[in-house]
Amino acid sequence: MVRRTRIIYTDSQKALMWDRWKKGESLQQIAQLFDRNHSSVQRILAKSGGIRPPPRIRSSTALTLAEREEISRSIVAGDSMRTIAKNLERATSTISREIKRNGGIEAYRAAEADAATWNRAHRPKPCKLLQNRQLASAVATKLRQRWSPQQVAGWLKYTHPGNEELHVSHETIYKTLFIQTRGALKKELTEHLRRTRVMRRSRHHTQKTDNHGQIIDAVSISERPATVEDRAVPGHWEGDLLFGSGNSHIATLVERHTRYVMLVKIARKDTQTVIDALIKHAGKLPQELYKSLTWDRGKELADHKRFTLATDIQVYFCDPRSPWQRGSNENTNGLLRQYFPKGMDISGYSQAQLNAVARQLNERPRKTLNYETPAQRFYQSVASTG
């Protein structure tokens, strides 16, 4: 696998991340802007708990980079500190402290001094809950009782109307929970929030986007040719995932004309893993016997266009909540529960073991085939295509 070099995000790129995060975009959507995985963006946003850090600004009274460059040139020219201060209209003590804290006369460099001063100035203001432990204890107690931060803030204001020392905004509570460097509230308290997230989401975030729950460019089963519908010719398959415990899965494929079964080992149910496995498995059959695949609306086939491009096999999708439209596959999954009962971890089965289970099913006589076996019918189809 080719590894991409680690990207070091610029301040402008980070600003773009925060802008998109505030608009409610997902980590994956933001990561696509930089051609990276969502974890790359999460690493940046999680540092402050999903809450945008306030922009840092220099004090209007602080020395500027231009002034530091003038100090550096004056030192080289041999000017005294009093002369440098006079030229810059600064106090002599200001120039003296500046040079002393940044290496002295022999080592002073303007750019390095400017960067060092900016870093030293990074002293965040202590939060109110850290300074007032009584208030922090009251907030923590109510959070453990599953009160929302807004309810806690409102209750404090109502209970202590004349004591602003015991008032705190709900935003401060959220920030203190999600930005653990503040150290005032334990991270475990987030478990009592209504939504137990590790990062604060934008109020504009929603999973109900225009394409939520939908597979992009899905071809409906209604567009499937009539020859597929009446099972007249072989080569048209139905598929789905059979679930076990421990997040284990098997892809099940049934040929509509012969009821022939194939089982495919799947490591995970994400679309890339499933599509890769189906592409590899499709190569084991001649094109004449694998023309189309009908699947449920599962997101594991979201990348169906890549499957079609790699195999030239058209994918059709059932209507929502209509598993009966791939009845052969549903029936076969019921038969497979004899081998893989619900609640059983099926991750330990090898592809060879799955092939053995499929072979047993394919060698059972079927009433719908006039008690021929799926294997007999399928190999007749293989012979006719050869």
Instruction: Give the model's pLDDT for residue 202.
Output: 66
Instruction: Give the model's pLDDT for residue 204.
Output: 61
Residues 6 or more apart in contact with residue 366 via CB below 8 angstroms: 259, 372, 373, 374
- Mean pLDDT calculated for residue range 266-292: 91
Cα-flanking dihedrals φ and ψ of residue 81, to 5°?
-65, -35
pLDDT digits (tens, 9 = 90+) for 136-150: 888 888 888 888 888
**What is the percent of the chain where pLDDT is above 70?**
90
d(CA 168, CA 301): 48
When pLDDT is cut at 50, 70 and 90, the band that residue 208 belongs to is very low
3-class SS of residue 167: coil
User: Domain boundaries in the chain?
Assistant: 11-48, 65-120, 128-192, 221-385
Angle, CA of 284, 301 and 298, to the nearest 5°? 125
pLDDT digits (tens, 9 = 90+) for 102-130: 989 899 999 999 988 888 877 666 778 87
pLDDT digits (tens, 9 = 90+) for 89-106: 999 999 999 999 998 989
Class of domain 221-385: alpha beta
> Range with the lowest mean pLDDT among 156-170, 203-217, 283-297?
203-217
Nearest to 294 by CA among 374, 236, 373: 236
pLDDT digits (tens, 9 = 90+) for 4-52: 567 788 888 888 888 888 888 888 888 888 888 888 888 888 777 777 8
Alpha helix locations (H) across 179-270? 226-229
Residue 61: is its pLDDT beyond 90? no
- Mean pLDDT calculated for residue range 79-98: 92
Instruction: Give the model's pLDDT for residue 203.
Output: 62
Which residues partner with 263 through β-bridges? 252
